[in-house]
Amino acid sequence: MNRFLKVSEEVSEAIHAHKPVVALESTIISHGMPYPKNVETALNVERIVRQNGAVPATVCIIGGKLTVGASAEEIEYLGKTGLKVPKASRRDLAVLLSQGLDGATTVTTTMIGAHLAGISVFATGGVGGVHRGAETTMDISADLEELAKTPVCVVCAGCKSILDLKLTLEYLETKGVPVIGYQTGELPAFYTDKSGLKVDYRLDSPDEVAGAFRAQRELGFDGGMLVTNPIPHQYAMDPDEINATIDQAVEECRQKGISGKAITPYLLDRIQRLTGGRSLESNIQLVYNNAALGAKIACALCKGA
């Protein structure tokens, strides 16, 4: 086993017994929500995965180890330490691991950890993508490149609506990453269930998603699959309101000169404040929804293995 990889006993036993396992990211804990709501949410997500028949595997970096299956104490540590924990993407792994440091895994590094451990399904909130104005800034999330090279089925509520969604879809098409709409033909937009943009395919059951992902793996393709699962309608925000709020937050971000990995945490926090906390509640509910679907897809994959 890779000397930098640490898999919990429960997760390791489940993988070797061919039981369903769902990977979960840790950036949402340290950078996505305030304490203690972040820890409460993370533990609830794990509980939802279990309720739907799978084993949760929260991924993070602790003491120079890419940890797959964080303990409750490690989740509490990440939540309390918050923004002081480095946000770790692919480019950060080598230094953080070799120096024995801690890190919160993004979509990219959670996919890496999941794949190294042998986990096929990962549930998150939203994935990164092409940022607004990327035609001049070249600000494109590493998540898209990871989806093109790492064979993990990623369940999300679409791309974060702070991004350029149309360009993100174009990028994924170029990289050969299938974008699946779960029970919808339209790309969800994180806080809202509609974007006006079409996905590649609509699939209506966990069995259908599992079948498509299984076929992709049997073809020997390197990349992953993006399953977009709309936020439950009762928790969706009004598109006009949230888009106006996002535009305001993006402009403030530009004026402050915030760039790189600091953009998303700043925007999510600013949007939460501008909406009086309603966007945070939407964020939490869509993560819960994705955790449940991720577990069902993982169960379907094991059933058909």
Summarised one tens digit per residue, pLDDT across range 7-38 is 999 999 999 999 999 999 999 999 888 899 99
Residue 24 near residue 32, CB atoms below 8 Å: no
Backbone angles phi, psi at 119, to 5 degrees: -100, 135
Give the residue numbers marked as catalytic.
25, 160
Distances in Å between the Cα of 45 and the Cα atoms of 16, 38, 189, 302 are 23, 11, 21, 21
Quote the pLDDT of residue 274.
Answer: 81
Question: Which residue type does 92 have?
Answer: D
Residue 67 sits in which domain range?
5-303
Residue 59 near residue 110, CB atoms below 8 Å: yes
107-117 vs 90-98: helix axis angle to the nearest 10? 70
Quote the pLDDT of residue 272.
Answer: 77
CATH of the domain at 231: 3.40.1790.10
DSSP character string of 125-169 = S-B--BBTTHHHH--B-HHHHHHHHS--EEEESBB-TTB-HHHHH
Quote the pLDDT of residue 259.
Answer: 74
CA-wise closest residue to 113 among 140, 75, 160, 150 = 150
At 231, the pLDDT band (50, 70, 90 cuts) reads: very high
Quote the pLDDT of residue 304.
Answer: 64
Quote the pLDDT of residue 134.
Answer: 59
Distances in Å between the Cα of 197 and the Cα atoms of 40, 159, 181, 228, 284 are 33, 12, 11, 12, 24
DSSP character string of 4-37 = TEEE-HHHHHHHHTT--EEEE-SHHHHTSS-TTH
Quote the pLDDT of residue 269.
Answer: 80
Is the pLDDT at 41 greater than 70? The verdict is yes
Summarised one tens digit per residue, pLDDT across range 113-164 is 999 999 999 999 999 888 766 566 677 889 999 999 999 999 999 987 778 8
d(CA 187, CA 231): 11
Is the pLDDT at 195 greater than 60? The verdict is yes
User: Around Cβ 173, how many Cβ atoms within 10 Å?
Assistant: 12
Quote the pLDDT of residue 163.
Answer: 82
Total domain count, the chain? 1
What is the pLDDT averaged over residues 254-278?
Answer: 78
Quote the pLDDT of residue 202.
Answer: 98
Please report which residue ranges of the chain form alpha helices under DSSP H: 9-16, 27-30, 37-51, 72-81, 90-98, 107-117, 134-137, 142-149, 165-174, 206-218, 239-256, 263-274, 278-303
